[in-house]
Structure 1
Amino acid sequence: MLKTLTSLTILDISFNSFNSTDILNSLCNHASLIRLDLSDNPLEGSLPACLGNLTSLRLFDLGNNKFGGEIPSELGNLKQLETLSLRFNHFIREIPDQLCNLSSLAFLSLSENRLTGKIPLCFGNLQQLSGLYLSKNNFQGALPSVLKKLKHLSELDLSGNNFSGPVPEWVGEELTQLQSLNLHSNKFYDLLPSSLKNLKLLTQLDLGGNQLTGAIPDWIGEELSGLWNLVLSSNHFHGVLPSSLKNLKVLTNLHLGWNNLTGTIPEWIGEELSEFWDLRLQSNNFNGSLPSCLGNLTSLMVFDLGHHEFGGEVPCELGLLKQLQTFSLGFNHLYGTIPSTLWQLTKLQELDISVNSLTGEVSEIHLRELKSLKSLDLPSNQFIIEFPMDTSISASAHRAGFCVSWGASVLIEELENMDYTSSRDEPIYRHHTRLDRRRIATIRGP
């Protein structure tokens, strides 16, 4: 039928179940096509070279299919293209130099393929690009300086590759229109170049998963005041949190986990930055007690303070974080009982308070209050655990997919060490978790 539509200019059959590449061959003679969107289908096979005949195309989207083989060099004939997306496929080998002929391109996405080699030096010809997305491939080497010619770039995503070397100074000197810079999961090393402070329009900066060193620079908070997403996790940053970060008033995501940061959690996090909904500081070397002002972060949904040297009691103000879905205080030196306010976080899905020195009772009543809870980690504390034996956790407090694990002096099956006493007629098992921290009991849902 498509062959008869000789004047067709727009074809959008995205989000369907087409699986035959015959449709591509049937379109090769439709030179009038301006927009062609076949994204989000299970199409597979190689792209036919005849697609190079569609010289009127301005938008060509084949994203999220199963195409493989090499990217046809004939796509370089589509000189009117403004948007080209081949993301989420299985393309291999290098980017053909012929794509550099697409001088009208504003958006190019080749993310999540199996492309290799280096970014072609001719990419400097693509000077109209505002969005370049090459994430999750196998590109390697230093960032080619030819990219500094792309003066109109507002979004650059090179994450999930094997780029290496220092982050070049020219990124901050030449690409001053950047609003989003993502270099996550590469092999960049050395200090952050101070030229990045020139990127005044940045709203997202993701440099996580590299080998960057030094202290977190003051200029991030002093110069990049528009940041709402800052990711520096899984690097080698050290020192204390710079107080300049309190200037990032619109910051909602802050990921600093898996570094070598030290010191205490500063009061300004809870007093100055009220917009957080994702705060991850896990696996550093913070110490001291948790400030009660953290209870001001009432928009938080993810809060990870695990794997530190925190001591003292858990502040009851943390129970004010009513939006929390994931909360970790595991692997610290916290003591005392769990504040009753924490059992009232009805949106909480995952709670990890393992490997501390916490005491008190954890009962079925607590789990009933945590209506959304799917995972509760309690190992290596000094809790008294109480649950009705006839429920086996599953019938009453235990929802589908729910998992409870605790460090116990006995395994659940060792019934002779359980106390069945109860003020009610139903049996209760009661065991203490302070004797042997090497034994772990786990109960999983269906």
Structure 2
Amino acid sequence: MGHFNIPSHLNPNMSIVDISDNKIQGPIPANICSVFPQLGRLNLSSNFLQGNIPPCLGNLKTMLMIDLSHNQLYGGIPEMSAQSDSLMFLRLSNNHLSGKITPTIFCSSSLKFLYLDGNKFDGNIPSIDISTFPYYSLSDIDLSNNNLSGELPRWIWNVSNLQTLAVSNNQLKGLIPVELCYLDSLKFLDLSKNNFFGPMPSCFHAQSIRHLHLSRNRLSGTLTNAFFNSSSLVTLDLSENQLTGEIPYKIGTLSALSVLLLKANYLVGEIPIDICKLYSLNIIDLSQNKLSGRIPSCLSHLTFEPSDGKSSTLDSTEVLGLVGIVDFGDFLRGANYFGITEFELFNFRVEEPFNLHASIHEQREEK
């Protein structure tokens, strides 16, 4: 463990500085830009650095990437750093940065990847007018785990090449804008753990979206027209909302679906037989609803094979730590999970015997 000491003399040929994953403490040297005037990549992540971010970093015309994540930096984002015309990648995640997010950080013509998650930023997400930019390149935005409030600004839904938007665990509110339907490049959307309310946009037909997390909000209405033309959808998490009605038979059209989480809503009716068409399904949680009727017998024939690197050695209780786990022994072990509560199990009738050893682990919690 030591301080970040740099030479006092000019090093014009140094373009990459990477001292990540060490135990360096203290401030980032204020003269770092004058010592390394041609710096293109700066990675100081996963240390114990403290203090403010040097404003001069935004003045370096050759700077492409800055990663200061997982430190103990405080203060805000320097205005000059936010105005860089060359910076493409900025990760300031998991520090103690605070205050309002400067609007200019979203106005860069070069920035493509912006990660400000895990800090103490507050206030509204700034409103800007991206129509004034000839080309807007921002594709990944992560503002999760802050103290942001207000509604999502409309300009976000006009970023045609947006691929990732994560704003979970803030205090955001309002309706989910209908403009969400037209983001053709969007692959990952996480609005969970906020105060969004109202119905989900019924026009959501995005073919590109793969992971959708809307849990722990106050979304209401039915699932009739939501998401069921999204053939590439891998994760659908709508748990802990106020959704009503039945699980639509159209759910069987989500051919790539691997994770289905509808826990803790007000869903009624039977589990549709079409759920058995989800051959890629690994994790399903329908617990804490008002479902009844028959459990489709085809669930006893699904292999629930782990997919895409999921470990087959994890116990089902380790996957999500959810309530009301029904553990069908080796049948649903590993990354494979089927959840209904003990109370709900008594309301179901199984069409055919599962011929499986079942044990119920009750970990009740308030809804």
- Aligned residue for 2:189, secondary structure, equals strand
1:47·1:71 contact (CA, 8 Å) conserved in 2? yes
Counterpart check, 1:369 vs 2:331: yes
The one-letter code of the counterpart of 1:50 is P
1:299 is matched with which residue?
256
Shift of 1:172: 4.4
2:138 corresponds to 1:181: no
Q: Do structure 1's residue 137 and structure 2's residue 95 form an aligned pair? A: yes
Q: Comparing 306-315 with 49-58, which one deviates more in the overlay?
A: 49-58
Q: TM-score, normalised by structure 1?
A: 0.69
The one-letter code sitting in structure 1 at the alignment partner of 2:54 is: P
* Local SS of the residue matching 1:195: helix
When residues 293 and 110 of structure 1 are mapped into structure 2, their CA distance, relative to the original with a 3 A threshold, is same
Which residue number in structure 2 is paired with residue 119 of structure 1? Answer: 77
Distance (whole Å) between structure 2 residues aligned to residue 159 and residue 128 of structure 1: 22
Q: 1:64 maps to what in 2?
A: 21
Contact 2:316 2:332 in 1 (8 A): no
Q: Per-residue CA shift, 1:282-340, capped at 9, x if unaligned?
A: 11100111112212222122211001001111122222222222211111011123222
Equivalent positions of 1:18-417 (< 5 A) are 44-50=1-7, 53-76=10-33, 77-124=35-82, 126-148=84-106, 150-170=108-128, 172=130, 176-222=136-182, 224-246=183-205, 248-270=206-228, 272-343=229-300, 344-347=302-305, 350=316, 367-370=329-332, 372=334, 378-383=341-346, 405-407=360-362
Gaps of 5+ in 1: 1-43, 357-361, 385-395, 399-403, 409-436, 439-446
Residue 304 of structure 1 contacts residue 328 of structure 1 at CA under 8 Å; is this kept in 2? yes
- For 1:187 and 1:71, the matched residues in 2 are separated by 26
Letter in 1 for 2:144: H
Q: Which whole-Å CA distance do the structure 1 matches of 2:293 and 2:164 have between them?
A: 39
Contact 2:200 2:226 in 1 (8 A): no
Please state whether the residue corresponding to 2:227 is helix, strand or coil.
helix
The 8 Å contact of residues 246 and 268 in structure 2, kept in 1 or not, is answered as yes
Residue 238 of structure 1 aligns to a residue in which SS? strand
**1:174–1:342 Cα change, 3 Å:** farther
In 1: Cα distance, 2:20 partner to 2:63 partner: 16
Contact 2:11–2:37 (8 Å) recurs in 1 = no
Residue 350 of structure 1 and its aligned partner are, at CA, apart by 4.0
Q: Distance in 2 between matches of 1:52 and 1:114?
A: 28
Task: Answer with 273-282 or 69-78: which moved more.
Answer: 69-78
Which residue in the other structure is 2:352 paired with? none
Q: Is the 8 A contact 1:149 1:174 kept in 2?
A: no
Q: 2:309 corresponds to which residue?
A: none
8 Å contact from structure 2 (residues 287, 344) kept in 1? no
Deviation (angstroms), 1:63:
2.2
Post-superposition offset of 1:376 = 6.1
SS of equivalent residue, structure 1 residue 197: helix
Q: Distance in 2 between matches of 1:322 and 1:370?
A: 14
Gaps of 5+ in 2: 307-314, 348-355
Query: How big is the alpha-carbon RMSD for the aligned residues of Structure 1 and Structure 2?
Result: 3.0
CA shift in 2, pair 1:179/1:373, >3 Å: closer
Quickly say closer, same or farther: Cα 1:283–1:149, change in 2 above 3 A: closer
Partner residue, 1:442: none
2:104 and 2:175 map into 1 onto residues whose CA distance is 29
Structure showing greater Rg: 1
| In 2, Cα distance between equivalents of 1:354 and 1:75 | 51
In the alignment, is the contact (CA less than 8 A) between 2:316 and 2:333 conserved in 1?
no
Determine helix, strand or coil for the equivalent of 1:342.
Answer: helix
* Aligned AA (2:342): P
Alpha-carbon separation, structure 2, partners of 1:354 and 1:147:
41
* Number of residue pairs matched by the alignment: 341
- SS at structure 1 position matched to 2:32: helix
CA distance in 2, matches of 1:134, 1:260: 30
Quick one: which amino acid aligns to residue 174 of structure 2? G
Aligned partners of 2:56 and 2:81 also within 8 Å: no
More helix by share: 1
